[in-house]
Amino acid sequence: MKSSTKNIHVGLHQSDPIFGSVVPPIYLTSTYQFPSVREGALRFAGKSKGMVYSRFTNPTVAALEARLAALEGGEMALATSSGMAAITLTFLHFLKTGDSIVAHPVLYGGTCEFLFHMAKRYGINVRSVDFQDPQKVEAAVDRTTKLIYFESPTNPLLEIIDIKKITAVAKKHKVITVFDNTFAPPPLQFPIKMGVDIVIHSLTKYIGGHSDLIGGAIIGSKKLLEPLFAHSYIFFGPTMSPFTAYLALRGLTTLEVRVKKETETAQKIVKYLKNNPKVSKVNYPGFGGVLSFEIKDGYRAGEKLANSVKVITLAVSLGGVESLIEHPASMTHSELTLEERKNSGINDGLIRISVGLEDEDDLIADLKQAFAAI
């Protein structure tokens, strides 16, 4: 099946075998009845697939996990309470004191905060190198390296990293690759097919698609995810609620058509921005609904532009049906020091826009009047 078909049909009926509802129902139960003590023991031991307790999983959540695994071409998926829960759970499962992780410097703000400011609490060494040069990545790997972590396109500069070259380095040194695919979900790209071991998603963004849920996902092979589930997930407890899973399943059904429309509109906005004399640089990889650009007059001009929009909403996040604008230096990446932002290429005049489903002419007209206010 193609992506758009999987997004509607995978994981649908398995969650409700009795009634066969068209939409997976919300199972609001915290625990499950066992037919016998023996069966309960088998389920706790992981030798039987029946439900145990909703901190572990839930029929609605399981339906979402099945669909997410199919979406990315993985064997297994774990839904989490947020994108950051997915990221930090993965780090804390695979890394211990004395281990190192090699990461690209341009990452989601929350990931940067954890790696560059919090990881040292746990004795984890973080090596930040430019992943656009795979030789630098290889030079940073040593016997302590357990993970290689990156995004592409990157947040918020929309850089493109050669995924296959990075995964080749990782496989050569037997290091696990973890990749945040939030910015370019299928059908835009399929990281597992390019050698990535574990894919992370913030379901809050494109997959949820309506700015009304917080959720995350970890997707990969059973070899990697079954131990993560058994030894970390059920004890850290980053559980997704059944209602959130229901919303994410709903969002998945329209993912492909939303991304297509948002891409078409983003391409036209990029054309307008490239011809704008107040813009010094536009960052856009040619696909997807997220773009960023630099204003020549710096921090105050960026602030003024973001404050002056009327149709576009001043808010963080991305991938929703409404267009959003934000100023990374004062918002999503404000926790980074000036030097860290500089090293990541996040200038004071940088603006990020997530293009929604509004009419393209209305969005461009809104940007025109906002630029006139600078």
What strands, in cross-sheet order, belong to the sheet with 279-283? 279-283, 290-295, 350-354, 324-326, 313-314
Determine whether 55 is an active site residue.
yes
- Two tokens at 234? 């059920």
Closest CA to 18 of 59, 56, 53, 52: 59
Bridge partner list, 126: 101
- What residue type is 20 in one-letter code? G
Active-site option among 67, 149, 180, 348: 180
Report the distance separating Cα 6 and Cα 29, nearest Å.
Answer: 27
Active-site option among 205, 258, 341, 352: 205
pLDDT by 10s per residue, the chain, length 374: 888 888 888 876 554 555 667 788 899 999 999 999 999 999 999 899 899 999 998 999 999 999 999 999 999 999 999 999 999 999 999 999 999 999 999 999 999 999 999 999 999 999 999 999 999 999 999 999 999 999 999 999 999 999 999 999 999 999 999 999 999 999 999 999 999 999 999 999 999 999 999 999 999 999 999 999 999 999 999 999 999 999 999 999 999 999 999 999 999 999 999 999 999 999 999 999 999 999 998 889 999 999 999 999 999 999 999 999 999 988 888 777 778 887 778 889 999 999 999 999 999 999 999 999 99
- What residue type is 357 in one-letter code? L
Report the distance separating Cα 188 and Cα 167, nearest Å.
Answer: 19
- What residue type is 205 in one-letter code? K
Task: State the pTM of this model.
Answer: 0.94
Specify the DSSP class assigned to residue 42: H
Active-site option among 16, 53, 55, 272: 55
Q: Report the DSSP pairing between strands 76-80 and 216-220.
A: antiparallel
Active-site option among 108, 149, 206, 246: 108
Determine whether 180 is an active site residue.
yes
Environment class of 30 (CB within 10 Å of its CB; exposed 0-12, middle 13-18, buried 19+): exposed
CA angle 335, 148, 142 (to 5 degrees): 110
Report the distance separating Cα 209 and Cα 58, nearest Å.
Answer: 22
Q: Report the DSSP pairing between strands 290-295 and 350-354.
A: antiparallel
Structural domains of the chain, with CATH: 3-253 (3.40.640.10), 256-372 (3.90.1150.10)
